[in-house]
Structure 1
Amino acid sequence: MGIAERKIRQKEEFRASILEAAWLQVLAEGWQSLSIRKIADAIEYSVPVIYSHFENKEAILLEFTKEGFQKLYDVLQEAKDQHQGSANQLECIAHAYWNFAFDHKEYYQLMFGLGIPACDRVNQITEMKAMAMVMITTIKEAIAQSKTPDANYFLKYHTYLSILHGLVSIQMIEKEGKPGADKRMILQDAISGFIQSLFIK
């Protein structure tokens, strides 16, 4: 390995160590506690060294946001691929979304900390757009098979995401740990109603 390649690898490894220290800090104290100073102390480097890899704390948060949306995309795409028919797929995507939110609370809270991301933000982050497209393409397929093929798919997408995010947010506010079967029944009821609304007119 040449000197240039070694330097690139070392830079990537150091960047990874910064993110690892930041993640451990988040797990221990939450997103609000994250600071460049604490990260520097944890990896025993000076603050300027951290800034040479990340412009600011927001750049680190963006890195985790992208990572979170990539993980959510993978989960939703896998759920969709395992089932046939858009109605079944929308139901399974909803349950996969629910599971992700409570299995990866730290990611979810960062990804949706300010509510549902605005359209311009979605378009700026590739991972976020890919996640949204899993839902949008499935909803488009459902609408195409329905009695109202000219329905506004984007409106339906926002309704679907609002149901999911709203129900997850209510449970997270209650802070009871991972919701039980009774709470999942609420999710099932809401999503079944949404799916039914797509096909009945």
Structure 2
Amino acid sequence: MARRARSPRGSGEQLRGEIVDAAARLLEEHDNADAVSVRAVADAVGVTPPSIYLHFADKDALLDAVCGQYFDRLDDALGRAVAEHTHPLDRTLALGRAYVRFALDHRAVYRFAFCHSGGDGTPMVDEALRTAAFVRLAEAVRELVDLGWYPDPASTDDPDGYALQMALELWTVAHGAASLMIAKPDLPWGENLEVAEAVMRAGCLGRGLMSVVGDHATGDQVQRFVEGVRSNDRGRAK
């Protein structure tokens, strides 16, 4: 393979970005981290392997950068989705849809990012908790609290823990939908994320209902509540 021309002085950051992009493409194409060798990446970019080591200590460091880039681009996608809506519930559902859609568009990197441990042994999924993408989930929780959808965490013994729990609930729904759609693509998921949106909507609506009927309401209690709501609706309709 022909080598690229010598880069001009000061273009190292551009080359670093090309290296990360090439590694991500190899991961997506082969769906296997073993395909992302330093030599394979060097060949894809058109440089020699020593040029890779000028930017990354080893393959693990390069894969860490691939995961970091994934989370950065995911955050960009989430930001665009949230900006299109004004109501907190609509913004939360848009956040979930964008998360699932981005995962489906980058299946191999998504799977890898959530099972890979970084070069220092820290799981990249733990790193995700500190990214802007997870912060957006926490912001969605705060918006739903302000709306009155979720109880005010100030009323709990551990407000910070409560907010984290609510954000994790949203992430669980979105991550679960994305993971299943990737693992079982032949199941009837519907058009345009139909099933994924349904479960995300159910999660949001269910959390709102729990704050009314009680977090540990029995089946009978929930049934009486629902029947009461329906009875009131029929009375207003007459």
Whether 1:157 aligns to 2:167 is yes
Match of 1:27 in 2: 28
Q: Secondary structure at the match of 1:49?
A: helix
Whether 1:117 aligns to 2:125 is yes
Q: Choose the corresponding residue for 2:203, options 173, 194, 197.
A: 194
* Deviation of 1:164 (Å): 0.9
Superposed CA deviations along residues 53-90 of structure 1, whole A, max 9, x for unmatched, are 21011221122212211211111111111111211111
Match of 2:142 in 1: 140
Match of 2:42 in 1: 40
Residue pair 2:173, 2:199 contacting (<8 A) in 1 also: yes
Match of 2:235 in 1: none
Q: Secondary structure at the match of 1:40?
A: helix
Task: Sort the Cα spacing of 1:178 and 1:8 in 2 relative to 1 into closer, same or farther, 3 A.
Answer: farther
* Deviation of 1:162 (Å): 0.8
Aligned residues: 189
* Deviation of 1:180 (Å): 3.6
Residue pair 2:88, 2:143 contacting (<8 A) in 1 also: yes
Task: Sort the Cα spacing of 1:184 and 1:20 in 2 relative to 1 into closer, same or farther, 3 A.
Answer: closer
Provide runs of 4+ in structure 1 moved above 6 Å.
none
Instruction: Could you tell me which runs of 5 or more consecutive residues in structure 1 were left unpaired when the two chains were aligned.
Output: 1-5
* Deviation of 1:184 (Å): 3.0
* Counterparts of 1:76 and 1:30, CA distance in 2: 24
* Deviation of 1:44 (Å): 5.6
**1:38 partner letter:** A
- Per residue, is there more helix in 1 or in 2? 1
Superposed CA deviations along residues 147-175 of structure 1, whole A, max 9, x for unmatched, are 62126221111111011111111121124
Q: Larger relative CO (CA 8 A, sep 6+): 1 or 2? A: 1
Residue pair 1:143, 1:153 contacting (<8 A) in 2 also: no
* Counterparts of 1:54 and 1:156, CA distance in 2: 37
* Counterparts of 2:134 and 2:203, CA distance in 1: 17
Task: Sort the Cα spacing of 1:46 and 1:178 in 2 relative to 1 into closer, same or farther, 3 A.
Answer: farther
Match of 2:76 in 1: 74
Task: Sort the Cα spacing of 1:139 and 1:52 in 2 relative to 1 into closer, same or farther, 3 A.
Answer: same
Instruction: Could you tell me which runs of 5 or more consecutive residues in structure 2 were left unpaired when the two chains were aligned.
Output: 1-7, 117-122, 157-161, 213-238
Q: Percent identity?
A: 20
* Counterparts of 1:24 and 1:197, CA distance in 2: 39
User: What RMSD over aligned residues (CA atoms) do the two structures have, in Å?
Assistant: 2.9
Q: Secondary structure at the match of 2:9?
A: helix
